């Protein structure tokens, strides 16, 4: 189950999954900041939004709801903030200093937050979340500790249940970054989006090779 | 100094001329302009073109108008202005000069 939102992206009315929405929102905010100093920034963003709407809408095909993959592949066409930075186009764009500044001043959240990690879990991701929080390399140690507590006095079970109830799951990219303790800024988001893309590529390849094998 | 960087710089130098040349033939929808550039391998990621178009427009070389579309919202069409044509002429001349100078140097380095 997933929440959806209806947005107007460059004139296209789209229904997005929450995940998809968060990525799109973060992407556009990052770009707006990136173009912030450029002449005609508002207009550039308008054009990019219109194009993004067009791309996402095309990706969506005849599904009702836009998924994360649709947004990510639109971003791949438009270019991640990282790529745009590297293929510097504008004279009088950004000097090196300015670029560094935008990296540092843009961080809105630092420090870690405790989340459960749904991508590395045995039961509910409590132990991997805890080890991320305390900087323990391998969650297996936390798991052993819980197991010992359970065998010893049974408190492990109670604690675990409490954690499930009290600690939220890290569902979005920004939540995952907070869990890992990376500040959410231009570069980390760019990297996360890139990882998402790589991941997507791998999954597609996998599916493709499975199909082949069936034949 | 690496090859990739030089390549990016070279592409950047001719991109404006290519955009103006495309629009010299007909007014075009933004996404079509980008598609043409992309197919010609002049552009890798699309995001780089928008600032360029806006800059050309603000310099008075391009103008745009909106056209209704039967699928989706109105589309932005760019067209070249008389000033843009003049500018393009200038670019073409210097491109021809550079082209000639470069090929002369490269093919006959001792006499240049």
Which pLDDT band, with edges at 50, 70 and 90, does A210 fall under? low
Q: With contacts defined as CB-CB under 8 Å, which chain B residues touch A51?
A: 30-31, 34, 46, 50
Smallest CA–CA distance, residue B98 to chain A, in Å, is 21
Residue A87 has pLDDT above 70, yes or no: no
Cβ–Cβ of B54/A57 closer than 8 Å? no
Q: Which of B44, B55, B74 shows the shortest C-beta gap to A90?
A: B55
More confident residue, B102 or A37: B102
Closest listed residue to residue A172, CA positions, set A59, A8, A22: A22
Q: With contacts defined as CB-CB under 8 Å, which chain A residues touch B44?
A: 79, 83, 87
Residue A91 has pLDDT above 50, yes or no: no
Whole-angstrom distance, CA of residue B36 vs CA of residue B45: 13
Q: Number of H helices and number of E strands within chain A?
A: 10, 3
pLDDT (0 to 100) of residue B84: 94
**Rounded to 5 degrees, what are φ and ψ at A120?**
-140, 80
pLDDT (0 to 100) of residue B66: 92
Flag the least confident range among A10-14, A81-85, A179-183: A179-183
A79: left (phi over 0), alpha (psi -120 to 50) or beta: left
ipTM of this complex:
0.83
The mean per-residue pLDDT over the stretch B85-99 comes to: 93
Residue B14 has pLDDT above 70, yes or no: yes
DSSP one-letter code for B44? S
Cβ–Cβ of B73/A11 closer than 8 Å? yes
SS3 content of chain B, % helix, strand, coil (to 5): 65, 10, 20
The answer to whether A150 faces chain B, any CB pair under 8 Å, is no
pLDDT (0 to 100) of residue A55: 92
pLDDT (0 to 100) of residue A8: 92
The token pair that represents A206 in the structure block: 């996998």
Residue A32 has pLDDT above 90, yes or no: no
Whole-angstrom Cα Rg for chain B = 17
Whole-angstrom distance, CA of residue A59 vs CA of residue B25: 31
pLDDT (0 to 100) of residue A96: 37
Choose from A7, A44, A48 for mutation: most chain B CBs within 10 A.
Answer: A44
pLDDT in tens, A170-205: 877 667 777 777 655 666 677 777 777 777 777 777
Choose from A8, A51, A73 for mutation: most chain B CBs within 10 A.
Answer: A51
Q: Which of A47, A86, A88 shows the shortest C-beta gap to B30?
A: A47
Parallel, antiparallel, or unpaired: how do β-strands B28-29 and A12-17 relate?
A: unpaired
Whole-angstrom distance, CA of residue A158 vs CA of residue A98: 51
pLDDT (0 to 100) of residue B41: 85
Whole-angstrom distance, CA of residue B73 vs CA of residue A53: 10
**Rounded to 5 degrees, what are φ and ψ at B68?**
-60, 145
More confident residue, B30 or A206: B30
Smallest CA–CA distance, residue B109 to chain A, in Å, is 32
Q: Number of H helices and number of E strands within chain B?
A: 4, 3
The mean per-residue pLDDT over the stretch B66-79 comes to: 89
Q: With contacts defined as CB-CB under 8 Å, which chain B residues touch A44?
A: 50-51, 54
B 35-64 residues inside an 8 A Cβ radius of A: 44-48, 50-55, 57-58
The mean per-residue pLDDT over the stretch B91-112 comes to: 84
Closest listed residue to residue A21, CA positions, set A35, A34, A36, A2: A2
Residue B5 has pLDDT above 80, yes or no: no
Residue A159 has pLDDT above 80, yes or no: yes
């Amino acid at each position: 189950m997933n929440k959806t939102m209806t947005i107007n992206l460059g004139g296209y009315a789209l229904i997005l999954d929450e995940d998809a929405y968060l990525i799109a929102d973060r992407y556009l905010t990052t770009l707006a900041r990136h173009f912030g100093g450029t002449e005609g920034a508002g207009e550039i963003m308008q054009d990019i939004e219109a194009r993004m709407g067009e791309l996402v809408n095309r990706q969506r095909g005849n599904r009702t709801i836009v998924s994360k993959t649709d947004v990510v592949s639109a971003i791949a066409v438009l270019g991640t903030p990282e790529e745009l930075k590297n293929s510097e186009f504008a004279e009088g764009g950004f000097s090196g200093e300015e670029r560094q500044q935008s990296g540092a001043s843009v961080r809105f959240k630092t420090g870690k937050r405790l989340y459960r990690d749904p991508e590395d879990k045995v039961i509910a991701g409590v132990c991997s979340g805890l080890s991320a929080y305390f900087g323990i390399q391998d969650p297996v140690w936390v798991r052993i500790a819980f197991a010992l507590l359970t065998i010893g006095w049974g408190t492990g079970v109670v604690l675990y249940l409490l954690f499930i109830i009290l600690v939220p799951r890290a569902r979005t990219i920004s939540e995952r970054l907070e869990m890992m303790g990376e500040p959410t800024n231009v570069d980390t988001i760019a990297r996360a989006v890139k990882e998402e893309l790589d991941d997507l590529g791998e999954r597609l390849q996998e599916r493709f090779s499975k199909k082949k094998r069936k034949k | 100094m690496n090859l990739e960087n030089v390549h990016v710089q070279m592409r950047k130098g001719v991109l404006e001329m290519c955009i103006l040349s495309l629009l010299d033939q007909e007014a075009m929808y933004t996404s079509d302009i980008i598609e043409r550039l992309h197919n010609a391998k002049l552009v890798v990621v699309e995001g780089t073109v928008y600032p360029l178009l806006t800059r050309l427009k603000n310099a008075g070389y391009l103008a745009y108008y909106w056209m209704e579309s039967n699928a989706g919202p109105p589309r932005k069409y760019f067209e070249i202005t008389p000033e843009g044509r003049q500018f393009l002429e200038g670019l073409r001349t210097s491109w021809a000069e550079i082209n000639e100078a470069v090929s002369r140097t490269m093919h006959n380095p001792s006499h240049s």
